[in-house]
Amino acid sequence: MRAQRVQRDMGYHIRQHSEEMHMTTERLMRHNKRQLAEMLMDAQAQLDHCRQQLADSRADERQAMTYLEQCRQAVGHEGDFPSLVERIRSEGVW
Q: Which amino acid is at 33?
A: K
Q: What is the mean pLDDT of the chain?
A: 90
Query: For residues 68 and 81, is the Cβ–Cβ distance under 8 A?
Result: yes
What integer is the mean pLDDT of 78-87? 86
Q: Which of 26-35, 37-46, 85-94 has the lowest mean pLDDT?
A: 85-94
pTM (predicted TM-score): 0.58
Domain ranges of the chain: 2-90
Task: Give the pLDDT score at 56.
Answer: 98
Q: Which amino acid is at 64?
A: A
Q: What is the pLDDT of residues 4-37, one digit of tens each?
A: 887 787 887 888 888 899 999 999 999 999 999 9
